[in-house]
Amino acid sequence: MNKSTKKLVLGKIIERLQDLLPSPEIEKNAACNTSNAELFFSEVPSEIAKAREICMSCPVRQLCLDHHMVVENDGIAGGLTAAERRKARKGAPAFAFDDVNEAIRVQRDMKYMSASAFAQRYQITERTYYRWKSDLEAQDLAS
């Protein structure tokens, strides 16, 4: 488990990992769902303009932009390129989508696996497992 994933698991950077997943509303109502996905990852100026046009007409554009301002992803999202989102973020942390998914999986495993099985899978001690679990439970009580 890499360091950024560990920080996500322990909630040291953000309060709730689930907030980093795209909302079901985005997945259901995004205007890009019926478009060619390659259009949103093109380097061709006319295709970038077309992708932006689709984004600007999207009913969930702001939700999508909010999501992609936190979770790093290439391509056009919310009407902005990845470079434009990085610039707008002004140094605020962005998380790789794979790290987010890994951290959510680790949290789920922590909830449902025994201490010994979890410790073995993630190559940590059971003491570390109990410390992490305690930190996560305290975080849940605070929210």
Tell me the per-residue pLDDT of 56-103, one tens digit each, with 9 for 90 and over: 999 999 999 988 888 878 899 999 999 999 899 887 777 777 777 788
Q: Is residue 141 part of a domain?
A: no
- The whole-number average pLDDT for the span 48-63 is 95
103 contacts 13 by C-beta, under 8 angstroms: no
- Amino acid making up residue 96: A
Rounded to an integer, the average pLDDT of 8-20 is: 62
> Cα–Cα distance between 93 and 133 in angstroms, integer?
24
Structural domain of 53: 19-94
Considering the domain boundaries, does residue 24 fall inside one? yes
Q: Does a structural domain hold residue 53?
A: yes
pLDDT at residue 8, rounded to an integer: 65
What phi and psi, each to the nearest 5 degrees, are found at residue 77?
Answer: -150, 130
Tell me whether residue 122 is in a domain.
Answer: no
End-to-end CA distance of the chain: 26
Phi then psi for 120, rounded to 5 degrees?
-65, -45
Q: Into how many domains does the chain fold?
A: 1
Of the candidates 108, 106, 137, 136, the one whose C-alpha atom is nearest the C-alpha of residue 121 is 106
Residue 23: inside a domain, yes or no?
yes
What pLDDT is recorded for position 12?
Answer: 59
The confidence score (pLDDT) of residue 134 equals: 85
In a domain, 8, yes or no: no
50 within some domain: yes
Question: What is d(CA 49, CA 54) in angstroms, rounded to the nearest whole number?
Answer: 9
Cβ-count burial of 69 within 10 angstroms (0-12 exposed, 13-18 middle, 19+ buried)? Answer: middle
pLDDT > 90: what percent of the chain?
39
Quote the pTM value.
0.64
Let me know if residue 67 belongs to a domain.
yes
